[in-house]
């Protein structure tokens, strides 16, 4: 599973450490744990280092009084930054206003309120060309709903974000976990997302990456089954003409073969 790791913008000195532990993407965070009074200086520090252009940046685009605030993202875009994670967007109008100040972009949309959740499909249809990924900001979402943050309560929006991302061919990124003590609970959450079909997840602490590395996403039994499927596949001279076959009393079709090849790639990248 790919790892998208948040680093607060006031801890930029930690980036080299996070790169060493081997995450897929780094997200410089200008929202959580950052005071509004700090943002201008932090943006200046980010702009001064051109290496930061390869990272995603979570940029506030909605002010505390719920008005559009595109100045921060415009400044970064004018300096050549193009990878952004957008929080708190409410509707198509918000995103349209943001795109007007961007010269180019790879955007991850964070769905954090019911209005955006209900309009997400229409928004995807109109702006797909700008989108890199889609994710549920589950804690803010449940705060907006006035409910408790439990896996049961976020099941429907979490699944819907996955379906939308798959339908439109963009990255499906699972929720950020606040779990920093229970290895078992964290593994359970990661595996649940993976088995649903998520290909990536947000991470907030190096401990979580350590646990991620220990997780076996497929069992030894699944690996042995995949080897048998591959052996059957190798017996077919023309792979394009491969029809359903029987293996140990079960019918194998193309979806099963694709799964077997994914398992083999996991064990033998």
> Rounded to 5 degrees, what are φ and ψ at 106?
-125, 115
Q: Residue 237: is its pLDDT beyond 60?
A: no
pLDDT of residue 218: 79
N-terminal to C-terminal alpha carbon distance within the chain: 13
Query: Which tens digit of pLDDT belongs to each residue from 87-130?
Result: 999 888 999 999 999 877 899 999 999 999 999 999 999 999 99
Of the pLDDT bands very low, low, confident and very high (cuts 50, 70, 90), residue 243 is: low
Q: What is the residue extent of each domain of the chain?
A: 2-214, 220-267
Give Cβ neighbours of residue 81 (< 8 Å, ≥ 6 apart). 46, 47, 52, 53, 57
CB crowding 109-128: b at 16 or more within 10 Å, else e: bbbbbeebbebbeebbeebe
Hey, CA dihedral for 50, 56, 60, 62, is it positive or negative? positive
According to the per-residue pLDDT averaged within each range, which of 100-104, 239-243, 265-269 is highest?
A: 100-104
Query: Which tens digit of pLDDT belongs to each residue from 19-31?
Result: 999 999 999 999 9
Mean pLDDT, rounded, for 185-212: 95
Q: Reduced to 3 states, what is the DSSP secondary structure of residue 247? A: strand
Bridge-based pairing of strands 131-136 and 56-58 is unpaired
86, with CB counted inside 10 A (0-12, 13-18, 19+), is: buried
pLDDT of residue 158: 96
Of the pLDDT bands very low, low, confident and very high (cuts 50, 70, 90), residue 240 is: low
d(CA 21, CA 5): 11
Superfamily of domain 2-214: Phosphoenolpyruvate-binding domains (3.20.20.60)
Of the pLDDT bands very low, low, confident and very high (cuts 50, 70, 90), residue 75 is: very high
């Amino acid at each position: 599973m790919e790892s998208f790791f948040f680093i607060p913008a006031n801890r930029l000195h930690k980036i080299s450490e996070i790169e060493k532990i081997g995450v897929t993407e780094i997200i410089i965070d200008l929202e959580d744990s950052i005071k509004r009074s700090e943002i201008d200086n932090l943006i200046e520090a980010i702009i001064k280092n051109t290496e930061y252009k390869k990272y995603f940046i979570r940029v506030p685009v909605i002010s505390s009084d719920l008005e559009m605030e595109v100045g921060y993202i415009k400044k970064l875009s004018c300096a050549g930054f193009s990878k952004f994670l957008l929080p708190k967007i409410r509707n198509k109008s918000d995103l349209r206003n943001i795109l007007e100040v961007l010269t180019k972009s790879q955007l991850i949309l964070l769905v954090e309120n019911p209005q955006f959740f209900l309009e997400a499909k229409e928004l995807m249809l109109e702006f797909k060309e700008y989108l890199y990924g889609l994710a549920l900001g589950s804690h803010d979402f449940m705060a907006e709903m006035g409910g408790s943050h439990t896996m049961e309560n976020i099941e429907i929006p979490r699944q819907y974000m996955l379906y939308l991302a798959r339908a439109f061919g963009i990255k499906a990124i699972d929720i950020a976990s606040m779990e920093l003590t229970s290895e078992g609970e964290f593994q359970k959450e990661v595996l649940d997302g993976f088995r649903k079909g998520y290909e990536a997840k947000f991470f907030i602490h190096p401990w979580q990456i350590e646990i991620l590395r220990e997780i076996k996403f497929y069992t030894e039994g699944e690996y042995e089954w995949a080897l048998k499927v591959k052996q059957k596949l190798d017996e077919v001279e023309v792979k394009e003409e491969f029809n359903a076959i029987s293996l140990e009393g079960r019918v194998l079709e193309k979806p099963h073969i694709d799964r077997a090849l994914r398992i083999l790639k996991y064990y033998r990248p």
